[in-house]
Structure 1
Amino acid sequence: MIAALARDAKREAEAANERRVLVFAGDRDRGFDASYDAIEAVASDDREASESDDRETLARDDGETVSIVSTREGFRYEEHGPREADELLGRTRDVVVLDCHEQFVPNALGRCVGAVDGGGLLVLLTPDLDAWPERRDRFDDSLAVPPYDVDDVTGRFRERFVGTLRSHPGIAIASLGETPAGDTVERDGLVGSRGGTAAESDGRVTTPPTVPPNATFPAAAYEACLTSDQARAVRAFESLATPGTAVVAEADRGRGKSSAAGIAAGALALAGADVLVTAPTFRNTAEVFARARELVAGSDGDGDGGGDGGGSDIDGDGGRDSDGGTDARRLNVPGGGRVRYLQPAVAAELPDGPDVVIVDEAAALPVRLLERFLDESLSVAFCTTVHGYEGAGRGFAIRFRERLLDGPFAVRDVRLDEPIRYARNDPVEAWAARALLLDARPAVDEAVAGSTVENAAYRALSPDDLLANETLLGEAFGLLVAAHYRTEPNDLARLFDAPNLSARALVARGRVVAVALLAREGGLDAETRRRMYEGERVRGNMVPDVLTSQLRDEEAAERRGLRTVRIATHHAVRDEGFGSRLLREVHSEFEDETDYFSVGYGATPRLLRFWRRAGYRTVHLSTSRNDASGEHSAIMLRPTSEAGRDLLSHHAVAFRDRERDGLSDAHRDVDPDVVIGALRACPASAPVDLTEVEWRSVVGASFGPGMYDSAPGAFRDLALATLIGGEEAIDGEEAINGDDETSLDERERRLLVRKVLQGRPWESVVDELGYVSTAACMRALGDAYEPLVEEFGTAFALAERDRFTRE
């Protein structure tokens, strides 16, 4: 029965160039036996498994196996643990077997689906489907963050997932008995017999791409394309040879955009260009480099990039790194061209002056980082997945494109719709999109445009409500995907099942216009706090963990907090107060249940201002940058109880004292506007207690012939005192409507940060802030301290001032 089920599914999949899913539900060992029976049934005579293949290699005892079966070369087996599923990126397999018994990780499922080739099978080994939602596995353990335990985790995500298995075309389900004789077929998964996609229709495009007339890339670049969409994308990338050009390539996953970018990178490098490639991780660029290498190797005439004819090498040293292995992150090409990878935050500095930048998975990077690539001296390509398990990160499409179109670049758009490895109507793609909400998106603009804050209703989004209403679920999760570049399928499971998480929304005209994902933190017992203090990581308690392990406050995790994990407003009504209204409603609902509200995020001036006006205060700024975003993370608190106020007061003072010295050390390169925003939101006032000698130096530099270098510590104390927020509205509403006005203008505040607090060289400050000379910058610094002398000066200081101002 299993063999026949697999053969029928495989034959229909191959005929339609689609994929099929086989679900073997029941005992785990029986599931592995069934998967072998299925694989052997679909293996053709010329792809028989080798004698060395042993069924026991597939069924490992630890139960963490994501098992990959390949029939590409001699029908071989590979194994990957769930944490190794990323190794499937950019690879294709005829059959993928995913063991879901010991832990079912949504992210791993997304990667496995993407690895199955057209005509291939995805095999899922699951517990009995009716009982599965009630079972708890290792992934559930990860959701049971302290003080909760696994009994508090629900099974709603799997309940919904099972529903998709039983309702979508292309999915066969076999319930396994104790012996093969007891196996039953619940669904055969055949599409053609159900009136859906015809098994013979919509195969690969048969007309191969052609070399366009007047192409500037070599013919081999177009001959490497698999679809006409890819050829159109490569044609658009030709414009990157001209500085000041930007190309935006968008596609759903599996359409070959990264391959097209790689072909273009190789062609540009062959023409002598320095091509800098970046993406959230190097793994994301595997396809780019693979295609670039193939094109360059083919240009050597021997197909392997080597030989005596000047073939390409890697890193200029024979193609080897210091350990004797290939340096996959760099490809040097005869004639001086090259393709190289750098992490986004490093690449944004444009080291060594590249000619072309290719940003792959651009939607997964913050808009503020993307803007740093808009240098008119080069050309840049932004390639982005519209829908994928990585999360769509719609900030790219919504906000960054506006910035790009308003700039000086000549912008070309290209979209790839034709799937590379399977037919356009593949039912497995549609199933995965629904099961993991890969295509989740906010309500259409027209449905929410014109909505007002006053008419929006505040409501809880309970897991039961989301399970019962697919539209509500899609709009809410779609907003979370749109707002943050890291939202992924695991987050969908957390939304349904994690006991520490809850969601709240504003709904206008029946549509979700703003959503907040909230996490309960803290309230931990003394033993847990001790382990945390001694270095043990405690899941799901981000702010208590930082306060305890990094900032050395063992009692901090006793306080109960509510952290805003994500907050998102529909872009059609952004900047109209919906986010602030949603936060006020959250504060009102939960203020009696917590000691403080908190938030942690990649700090930007705009976000620092938003959270400060919502009453949140800075207690920490990370010393390192996020590799992908290039931003330092800020942690802010908004106290609701006396214990919360004590916690904030203690850590605000500590933050103030750290920054006085840290700004010239670990935070020396932080954006001055971020420094200003973080200090402005710190409620611990900075004391000014200068000696008469120090006042003479400050007053002399401000009103007379003195020099800054005579007392840098005194200047630092005054700069900190004027930039820091002090005791303003530590727990009141005044901060919500507060402003950022001080006695200094914007450039003067930046001058205080760059020169006085961060200790930058005069020449660097002059160039960055646009002063005409070092002398002019020095005079401006003295002028900036005049109002500070007036505000903070003692009687002695004011008398000293009068010596220079007396007519």
Structure 2
Amino acid sequence: MDIAALAAEVRAAATRANHRRLVVLAGDRDACIDAAFDVLDGADVPDDETTIVTAREGFRFERLHPKRAGELLGSTRTAVVCDAHEEFSPNVVGRLVGAVDGGGLFVLLTPPLDEWPARTGSFDESLAVPPFSVSDVTGRFRERLVSTLRDHPGVAIANVDEGVVERDGSAPSPPDVGDRSPSVPRERERRFPRLAYESCLTGDQSRTLRSLERLADPGEAVVVEADRGRGKSAAAGLAAASLAAEGRDVLVTAPSYRSAEEVFVRAETLLSDLGALADSAERTSAGRQTQSGDHDEERHVLRANAEAGAEGGRVRFSDPPTAATLPDDPDAVLVDEAAALPVRLLSSFLDAPAAGFFTTVHGYEGAGRGFSVRFRDRLAESDFTVTDAALDEPIRYARGDPVETWAFRALLLDARPPVDPLVEDATPETVEYRAVSPEELLADDHLLSEAFGLLVFAHYRTEPNDLARLLDAPNLELRALCHEGHVVSVALLAREGGLDAETRRAMYEGARVRGNMLPDVFTSQLRDEEAGVPVGYRVMRIATHHAVRSRGLGSRLLTAVRREFAGRADYLGVGYGATPELLSFWAANGYSTVHLSTTRNDTSGEYSALMLLPLSEAGEALRDRHASYFIDRIVAVLSDPLRDVEPDVARAALRACEADVSPSLSDREWRVVVGASYGPGIYSAAPEAFRRLALAHLLSPDRVELDAREERLLVRKVLQGRPWTPVSEELGYVSQGQCMRALGDAYKPLVDEYGPESAREERARFTD
């Protein structure tokens, strides 16, 4: 077997087609690494255009540890070598495969392919969450991966142990798609500089830039969708620079600065070429690698000189939660990798004067589809005039690239639910409840794609690792509703708890225990060492097909799950970014609030809610214990770390808590409350009494009829202790005095409902 000759032939074919090729070197690790050098030499790949991703050290070309594979996102290499013998994970492949340029090679070093599915590594150890061990983890993902390697076009396989070439890597010729070169609109038809259009690389890119000109005007939104490698970030950068050159303030956001780095590279280049880049362009530490390998998220700013615009524009970066507040009132917001952000956070940008949303349709960065389904509905209902643009033409390689299609297939980057007509007649009465096993998923690609496609839609960020977890993790179970054989609703459940005393003790003393989110929070944060004893199933994700939402299918699925697990678990649980709608949904399905996190999620900007549904006496004891803890601390928490939580979130979280509080007020405190509601008294004389009474009402709002604004007033002023003036303005009272009177009026029915005889006697002094 002549590896060098094989590599030369494979690269020559790749160069002719302007495609990539995948070369698999299977066998002993040392032999695979030696063969990789032969491949690179035979393919004539320069060392400075090569990166190897491996845990080993000592190579003549760039080497990255697998944990740093993400650093290649957005970059291009002629060859990338991935050592799958150690520290291998699906995410590593997803991060690396897109970094190979047209005519280049993705070289995968693997154990012997027949043996690889049974080989365990560090990723398998991460799936062995307590109480499971690595022996409980299966190799179904690798079994499926090997199958795709053996039958996909453009994949060459060499067995280095036996010296045999099993596949030569041949692939069909690329389709003839005609001339797709960029064009420059005539001067009177364009707003952006000619140089911006001349910087485009494809006709798609120039047409997209033409659409992005709309962002110069308020009330406009542009959505740019593309697969990876189509130049959407570059188009965003050209648009940002063009707007800044006009004097516009452009705010850029993305899941991390690194994700948006290409935007700034293109913007800086164009501003410089236009002679509009100010000498004082501010470059902070954003994106600069630290010793830990992390990246600072500080703001990065490019400034256009004043001559280029009325006041001189700028392009600046903020992380998503900060950007959602629209700091310093930008003229336009550009959201890169929008599919990786949750819908609620994306919705904040609908308040911007103009907004551009750039999203990867498929690929490692864009697996989350909440954007394309749920957010697009909100965008359509907004005040924006929406323009759509799509980038189909690859920039770094030609259409029909076999490595791209292999990655989509192997990692299910293009997984999607069934098409609408197949499920649009589904109702709770027509569906069948199924326990879908990993074996069934492995045997049926159609079922796997539909189920995983729905899970992708359920979350703003789904990674290739999640596919392997679905197939191999021993703590996960999948349940589905099917309509005429097609998946319409899915729930992914994670077994938690049932932990031994040693594990519980370690968790209590600060150790992190993988895969046990609810017991971990209850034990480490809320100091309940026995919380890990009951066995529970946490609903990690639940999703219903967008064509049949609001028909009760999600509730139908949860009801079936509840019935099935009643005999085998102590509780069902859930943790998620809290919104009023989600809190109400879970409460309607029997789940009750036991915790609100005291910090916002960095990506979603939301506080997390934890809820439990008991299935046994042990589960009920756990729920009651933590509901009681929650009520004991919530007033203090709302006035300190949760002082900025939205009133409707607090209202819904309290309403969903299975706890009944009878307000305990002294006779003097009741006189203060009655005086402030029916007489001349004031709230500030005894705020704690008002808090206890407000809490009692919000836990049992059906006992007394207050409208939503009155309840928001109880949260903002009484429980969170906000000043009168901002509370008055936020809730729409015409003056502070009116707001104060409204608070007194809100307490009148509470006095009537909860007040003892002494309170009623005090009330009579002002009403008789």
- Same-fold status (TM-score > 0.5): yes
Tell me which residue corresponds to 1:207. Answer: 181
2:427 and 2:688 map into 1 onto residues whose CA distance is: 51
CA deviation after TM superposition for structure 1 residue 329, in Å: 2.0
1:367-390 Cα deviation digits (max 9, x unpaired): 2221211126x1111111111223
For 2:385, give the aligned amino acid: A
C-alpha change, 1:48 and 1:672, in structure 2 (3 Å) is closer
Select the residue among 301, 310, 324 that pairs with 1:330: 301
CA contact (8 A) 2:423 2:548 kept: yes
CA contact (8 A) 1:96 1:122 kept: yes
C-alpha change, 1:97 and 1:636, in structure 2 (3 Å) is same
C-alpha change, 1:430 and 1:740, in structure 2 (3 Å) is farther
C-alpha change, 1:206 and 1:755, in structure 2 (3 Å) is closer
1:430-487 Cα deviation digits (max 9, x unpaired): 1100100000000001110111111100011101101111111000000000111121
CA deviation after TM superposition for structure 1 residue 312, in Å: 5.1
Q: Does 1:129 align with 2:100?
A: no
CA contact (8 A) 1:29 1:59 kept: no
1:401 and 1:48 map into 2 onto residues whose CA distance is: 45
Q: Does 1:158 align with 2:142?
A: yes
Select the residue among 438, 462, 487 that pairs with 2:437: 462
Q: Does 1:81 align with 2:82?
A: no
Tell me which residue corresponds to 1:735. Answer: none
- Counterpart secondary structure, 1:555: helix
C-alpha change, 1:741 and 1:496, in structure 2 (3 Å) is farther
CA deviation after TM superposition for structure 1 residue 4, in Å: 1.0
C-alpha change, 1:16 and 1:312, in structure 2 (3 Å) is farther
Tell me which residue corresponds to 2:211. Answer: 236
CA deviation after TM superposition for structure 1 residue 48, in Å: 6.8
Select the residue among 509, 514, 517 that pairs with 1:539: 514
Q: Does 1:314 align with 2:282?
A: yes
CA contact (8 A) 2:155 2:167 kept: yes
CA contact (8 A) 1:203 1:423 kept: no
- Counterpart secondary structure, 2:113: coil
CA contact (8 A) 2:127 2:137 kept: yes
- Counterpart secondary structure, 1:313: coil
1:667-721 Cα deviation digits (max 9, x unpaired): 0000111101111111122231111221111111111121111111111111111
Select the residue among 163, 166, 186 that pairs with 1:186: 166
Identity of aligned residues (%): 60
Select the residue among 78, 83, 90 that pairs with 1:99: 83
Tell me which residue corresponds to 2:9. Answer: 8
- Counterpart secondary structure, 2:746: helix
C-alpha change, 1:658 and 1:467, in structure 2 (3 Å) is same
Moved more, 291-300 or 539-548: 291-300
Aligned positions of 1:10-29 closer than 5 A: 10-29=11-30
CA deviation after TM superposition for structure 1 residue 407, in Å: 2.0
CA deviation after TM superposition for structure 1 residue 209, in Å: 3.1
2:655 and 2:297 map into 1 onto residues whose CA distance is: 49
Aligned positions of 1:773-792 closer than 5 A: 773-792=735-754
Tell me which residue corresponds to 1:173. Answer: 157
Aligned positions of 1:571-582 closer than 5 A: 571-582=546-557
C-alpha change, 1:311 and 1:217, in structure 2 (3 Å) is farther
CA contact (8 A) 1:273 1:337 kept: yes
Tell me which residue corresponds to 1:108. Answer: 92
Q: Does 1:496 align with 2:495?
A: no
C-alpha change, 1:91 and 1:204, in structure 2 (3 Å) is farther
CA deviation after TM superposition for structure 1 residue 399, in Å: 2.1
Unaligned runs of 5+ in 2: 307-311
CA contact (8 A) 1:316 1:332 kept: no
* Alignment RMSD (CA, Å): 2.3
Q: Does 1:661 align with 2:629?
A: no
CA deviation after TM superposition for structure 1 residue 643, in Å: 1.3
Tell me which residue corresponds to 1:117. Answer: 101
C-alpha change, 1:80 and 1:386, in structure 2 (3 Å) is same
For 2:361, give the aligned amino acid: V
2:465 and 2:625 map into 1 onto residues whose CA distance is: 35
CA deviation after TM superposition for structure 1 residue 59, in Å: 9.0
C-alpha change, 1:580 and 1:98, in structure 2 (3 Å) is same
Unaligned runs of 5+ in 1: 70-75, 726-738
CA deviation after TM superposition for structure 1 residue 363, in Å: 1.9
- Counterpart secondary structure, 1:390: helix
2:445 and 2:289 map into 1 onto residues whose CA distance is: 51
Select the residue among 300, 317, 335 that pairs with 1:341: 317
Tell me which residue corresponds to 2:35. Answer: 34
Tell me the TM-score normalized by structure 1: 0.90
Tell me the TM-score normalized by structure 2: 0.95
1:27 and 1:525 map into 2 onto residues whose CA distance is: 39
Tell me which residue corresponds to 2:652. Answer: 677
For 1:615, give the aligned amino acid: G
CA deviation after TM superposition for structure 1 residue 237, in Å: 1.1
Tell me which residue corresponds to 1:613. Answer: 588
Tell me which residue corresponds to 1:148. Answer: 132
For 2:159, give the aligned amino acid: S
1:139 and 1:530 map into 2 onto residues whose CA distance is: 25
- Counterpart secondary structure, 1:625: coil
Tell me which residue corresponds to 2:422. Answer: 447
For 1:355, give the aligned amino acid: D
1:343 and 1:107 map into 2 onto residues whose CA distance is: 23
1:111 and 1:219 map into 2 onto residues whose CA distance is: 34
C-alpha change, 1:59 and 1:423, in structure 2 (3 Å) is closer
How many corresponding residue pairs? 756
1:326 and 1:786 map into 2 onto residues whose CA distance is: 50
CA contact (8 A) 1:297 1:311 kept: no
Aligned positions of 1:35-50 closer than 5 A: 35-43=36-44, 47=46
- Counterpart secondary structure, 1:22: strand
CA contact (8 A) 1:25 1:127 kept: yes
Moved more, 476-485 or 272-281: 272-281
2:205 and 2:561 map into 1 onto residues whose CA distance is: 47
C-alpha change, 1:742 and 1:315, in structure 2 (3 Å) is farther
Select the residue among 755, 758, 764 that pairs with 1:793: 755
Q: Does 1:767 align with 2:747?
A: no
2:282 and 2:382 map into 1 onto residues whose CA distance is: 36
Q: Does 1:138 align with 2:122?
A: yes
Moved more, 333-342 or 613-622: 333-342
CA contact (8 A) 1:679 1:724 kept: yes
Tell me which residue corresponds to 2:491. Answer: 516
Tell me which residue corresponds to 2:309. Answer: none
1:243 and 1:6 map into 2 onto residues whose CA distance is: 54
Aligned positions of 1:644-655 closer than 5 A: 644-655=619-630
CA deviation after TM superposition for structure 1 residue 320, in Å: 12
For 2:534, give the aligned amino acid: R
2:380 and 2:427 map into 1 onto residues whose CA distance is: 29
CA deviation after TM superposition for structure 1 residue 645, in Å: 1.2
- Counterpart secondary structure, 2:241: helix
For 1:374, give the aligned amino acid: L
1:48 and 1:699 map into 2 onto residues whose CA distance is: 82
- Counterpart secondary structure, 1:96: strand
For 1:292, give the aligned amino acid: A
C-alpha change, 1:740 and 1:460, in structure 2 (3 Å) is farther
1:328 and 1:33 map into 2 onto residues whose CA distance is: 44
CA contact (8 A) 2:20 2:100 kept: yes
- Counterpart secondary structure, 2:529: coil
1:389-415 Cα deviation digits (max 9, x unpaired): 234322222222222222221111111
Q: Does 1:746 align with 2:708?
A: yes
Tell me which residue corresponds to 1:755. Answer: 717
CA deviation after TM superposition for structure 1 residue 300, in Å: 2.4
CA contact (8 A) 1:253 1:385 kept: yes
CA deviation after TM superposition for structure 1 residue 322, in Å: 14
C-alpha change, 1:326 and 1:649, in structure 2 (3 Å) is closer
Q: Does 1:382 align with 2:362?
A: no
